[in-house]
Amino acid sequence: MLRRRLMIRAIAAAALVIVGPGRLLAQATVQTQPIDPFGQEITLAEKPIVYVSGTGDWDTAYDTLKEAFKTILAFLDKRGIKPSGSAMTIYTAMDDMTFNFQAAIPVAEPPKGPPQDNIGIGTSPGGKTLKFVHRGSFEAMTTTYDAISHYVEEKQISSKELLIEEYVTDFQTTAPDKLVINIFVPLN
């Protein structure tokens, strides 16, 4: 099932490049560095997060996630709370056209008082995961997700029905073709 999710993510990313705005076709991919982990088993620590849940279409995924992060950052700013880690997207369900997600930002402590109606407070996934790195545009992640899919299948790895993208570079301000994204595949 995870292989299907990875393939869906790869196909959707390819569709973005093919049918997305013309500016996306001109972007150059930043190559993976030799020091980047590929399939490195690590243990993620759970962290308090503030998040926005939503559903998006793959053809507008980048803009959908940017808006979600903008909403979270405005909430944190209004409450005087500083992020304590990198923004992340937790993909909770995917199909060929759409995805369900939590766009999340870690915080040192959960905010006091009730959140706004579209803001959630929770904990990021933790436990054993495989770590992969993507460098380049959000839309050009097809190659990375294809490689991950092949790796998981070849090694016959049992994983959860969840994918996590952690944005090493600032998702809001980094040029779209210069992103560095850690991709985590949680293990069973």
* Dist. CA 97–CA 64, nearest whole Å: 14
Which pLDDT score is estimated for 99? 95
Q: Which amino acid makes up residue 64? A: T
Domain count, the chain: 1
Task: Give the chain's mean pLDDT.
Answer: 83
Which pLDDT score is estimated for 5? 52
Domain extent, residue 108, equals 2-186
Task: Read off the CATH number of the domain in which 128 is found.
Answer: 3.20.80.10
Instruction: Give the least confident one: 4-8, 111-115, 166-170.
Output: 4-8
User: How sure is the predictor about 17, in pLDDT bands with cuts at 50, 70 and 90?
Assistant: very low
Please, what is the Cα angle at 44 between 52 and 143, to 5 degrees? 75
Say whether pLDDT at 20 is over 60.
no
Contacts of 58 (CB under 8 A, 6+ apart): 12, 13, 15, 16, 96, 97, 98, 99
- DSSP assignment of the chain, as one string? -HHHHHHHHHHHHHHHHHHS-HHHHTPPPPPPPTTS-EEEEEEEPP-EEEEEEEEEEGGGHHHHHHHHHHHHHHHHHHHT--B-S--EEEEEEE-SSEEEEEEEEEBSSPPSSPPPTT-EEEE---EEEEEEEEEE-STTTHHHHHHHHHHHHHTT--B-S-EEEEESS-TTTS-TTSEEEEEEEEB-
User: How sure is the predictor about 18, in pLDDT bands with cuts at 50, 70 and 90?
Assistant: very low
Structure-model confidence comparison of residues 8 and 104, the more confident one = 104
Say whether pLDDT at 70 is over 90.
yes
Polymer length of the chain = 188
What are the φ/ψ torsions at residue 112 (nearest 5 degrees)? -85, 150
For range 120-127, the mean pLDDT: 95
Structure-model confidence comparison of residues 5 and 67, the more confident one = 67
Question: Which position has the token pair 């569709």?
Answer: 15
The answer to whether 44 and 127 have CB atoms below 8 angstroms apart is yes
For range 45-55, the mean pLDDT: 96
Query: C-alpha dihedral over 37, 42, 48, 54, to 10 degrees?
Result: 60
* Dist. CA 100–CA 103, nearest whole Å: 10
- pTM (two decimals): 0.82
